[in-house]
Amino acid sequence: MRIGLAGVGRIGAFHASTLAGLDAVDDVIVADLDSALAERVATEQGLSAASDIDTLLASGIDALVIATATTAHAPLLRQALAAGIPTFCEKPVAASLDETIALTELAESSDTPVHIGFQRRFDLGYLRARDAVAAGDLGTIHAVRALTHDQEPPHAAYIPTSGGIFRDCSVHDFDIVRFVTGREVDSVYATGENKGAAFFAAAGDVDTGAAILTLDDGTLVTATSTRYSGGGHDVRMEVMGSAANLAVGLDDSLALRSAEEGVAFPAGPPHASFMQRFLAAYRAELTAFCDVAAGRIASPCTVRDALQAFRTAEACELSRAQRRLVSMREIPNASAAPAGSSSSSSPTPATKATA
């Protein structure tokens, strides 16, 4: 299988290396608006390079991975759908809700599969949590705690185009809450504050956010995010039920220390980045995409799935700005999926954790 990769920045170069190591992949062809960067990455990793992205799309590739800047996601996905090329697209699908809705409806009217990059769906801890919820092992789920705490903030130039902490950071939590619980978000209340660098406030953003989500069965979810987790990169989930509780990310890499005497856990070291934390999940995710592109499985994370997470983030930003509870019925949604569509807008019970 020949895989085209558009965009070779930090995550793109990381994906290039991962793809090159997969048994199903015979060749990886990379392209970037910076052709010199594409050539350098190709040389360093023993890959092929196309002179530009249009040439890449016309080169007879079997599938495409989009890892460009966010502004290029939507037009590239449209081109790929028009050409019938199975596509993996990093989140977000588009920079705006309107464009994400339009792409959801376009993708669902096409026979070409699209897989959106929410790698936590392929992390064994989250998969096991989903299995436990689906099997009823935890009893009635009454509360979930989800968090994404980055060890240090991104470069100041990234923030004005990031979409804000809920769309850029917490959106992963919003997706994985749907995935693990099998429920939809009904309403949100969100807030945020700045105690760090001035460039967050200058961009209208916050460096720390918190949201309370009420799911459609009454389950309460707290989701927190920050750009300043000095103890290490910290991504976790706790699922509390009437019969048992379960935690994801509770191992020796935990970026948290106990204040209790004589407690040595966790042994460390903590993770320093999301790529380190989810290394195995990224490999499993791209392995699954090869199966999607080959027609062996349906997309495990559709454009509609990405839309639902984006809608929740949109509701959080509205709530933060207006300091009020926001119903998800206030947030526009795509029209119903056509009959026979592979959309998974209504989460279903888990498959076994085999990723």
What CATH code is carried by the domain that includes residue 52?
3.40.50.720
DSSP letters spanning 205-233? --SEEEEEEEETTS-EEEEEEES--TT-B
Provide long-range contacts, Cβ within 8 A and 24+ apart, for 200-207: 200/153, 200/159, 200/227, 203/159, 203/160, 204/164, 205/159, 205/162, 205/164, 205/165, 206/164, 206/165, 206/320, 207/153, 207/165
The pTM (predicted TM-score) of the whole model is: 0.94
If asked whether residues 239 and 183 sit together in one domain, one would say yes
75, 133: one domain: no
Same domain, 253 and 116: no
Share of the chain above pLDDT 90, in %: 94
CATH of the domain at 251: 3.30.360.10
Q: What is the mean pLDDT of the chain?
A: 95
Q: According to the model, what pLDDT value does residue 353 have?
A: 39
In this structure, the answer to whether residues 167 and 203 fall within a common structural domain is yes
The answer to whether residues 129 and 183 belong to one domain is yes
292 in a structural domain: no
Domain co-membership, 115 together with 135: no
Q: Which amino acid is at 354?
A: T
> How much is the pLDDT for 349?
42
Residue 347: the pLDDT is 57
Predicted local confidence at residue 352, as pLDDT = 39
Number of domains in the chain: 2
pLDDT digits (tens, 9 = 90+) for 65-77: 999 999 999 999 9
Residue 273, domain member (yes or no): yes
- Inside any domain, residue 75: yes
- Do 12 and 93 lie in one domain? The reply is yes
Last residue of a domain, one of 120, 148, 175: 120
Average pLDDT over residues 296-311: 98
Residue 135 is assigned to a structural domain of this protein: yes
The answer to whether residue 45 sits within a structural domain is yes
Kindly tell me if the per-residue pLDDT of 339 is higher than 80.
no
Task: Looking at the structure, tell me whether residues 305 and 227 fall in a common domain.
Answer: yes
Question: Could you tell me which residues are beta bridge partners of residue 248?
Answer: 237
CA terminus-to-terminus distance, the chain = 21
- Verify that 185 and 326 share a domain, yes or no: yes
Neighbours of 308 (CB within 10 A): 25
Please answer whether residues 190 and 223 qualify as being in contact, where contact means their C-beta atoms are separated by less than 8 angstroms. no
Q: Verify that 251 and 157 share a domain, yes or no.
A: yes
Residues 85 and 110 both lie in one domain: yes
pLDDT per residue over 104-119, tens digit each?
999 999 999 999 999 9
pLDDT tens digits along 161-210: 999 999 999 999 999 999 999 999 999 999 999 999 999 999 999 999 99
In a domain, 249, yes or no: yes
Residue that the structure tokens 């096991």 belong to: 128
Range of the domain at 60: 2-120
- Determine the Cα angle at 103 with ends 97 and 106, to 5°: 145
Examine residue 347 and state whether it is found in any structural domain, yes or no. no
| Residue 312 pLDDT greater than 90, yes or no | yes
Residue where a domain stops, chosen among 74, 102, 120: 120
Does residue 146 lie within any of the structural domains? yes
The answer to whether residues 314 and 229 belong to one domain is yes
